[in-house]
């Protein structure tokens, strides 16, 4: 038995590659398409700018509001017996009442600004701003 002849009789061998690896490398996998989130979220912010026309009336209404609803006033950081500055009193009243009620409490509306923005996850937000100056502003 001649081992040399047996070795020379072996045909040329191609480099061995695993068939499953070759198919993975040859065919690139694409990521499954992600569903689009078409929900649009909108946010509206209403800004009413008011000035105090009657400081004594604003302070009295704010103190009364804190006495009438101490739990609500506490949510805004005021107690029924707390002494408030004019700014704190105006802020408390603005947090508790609408613009029409505020005009009867010594505050006057000078300007209204509405800011609206809307967007979904795939786009930049679109913003709109509308400002109205109230007639009779000094």
pTM: 0.61
pLDDT score, position 23: 52
pLDDT score, position 32: 72
- Report CA Rg, the chain: 37
Q: Using CA of residue 47, residue 53, residue 57, residue 59, what is the dihedral sign?
A: positive
Whole-angstrom distance between the N-terminal and C-terminal Cα of the chain? 119
Which token pair is 109?
């509306």
Q: How confident is the model over 49-82, as pLDDT tens digits?
A: 999 999 999 999 999 999 998 998 899 888 888 8
What is the spatial distance between Cα 136 and Cα 108, in angstroms, rounded to a whole number?
Answer: 10
């Amino acid at each position: 038995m001649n081992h040399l002849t047996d070795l020379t009789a072996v045909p040329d061998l191609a480099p061995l590659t695993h068939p499953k690896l070759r198919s993975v490398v040859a065919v690139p996998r694409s990521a499954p398409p992600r569903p689009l989130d078409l929900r649009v979220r909108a946010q509206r912010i209403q800004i009413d700018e008011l000035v105090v026309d009657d400081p004594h009336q604003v302070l009295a209404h704010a103190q009364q509001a804190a006495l009438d609803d101490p739990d609500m006033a506490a949510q805004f950081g005021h107690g029924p017996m707390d002494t408030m500055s004019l700014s704190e009193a105006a802020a408390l009243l603005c947090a508790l009442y609408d613009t029409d009620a505020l005009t009867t409490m010594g505050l006057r509306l000078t300007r209204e600004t509405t800011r609206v923005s809307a967007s979904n996850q795939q786009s930049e937000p679109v913003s709109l701003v509308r400002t109205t100056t109230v007639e009779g502003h000094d």
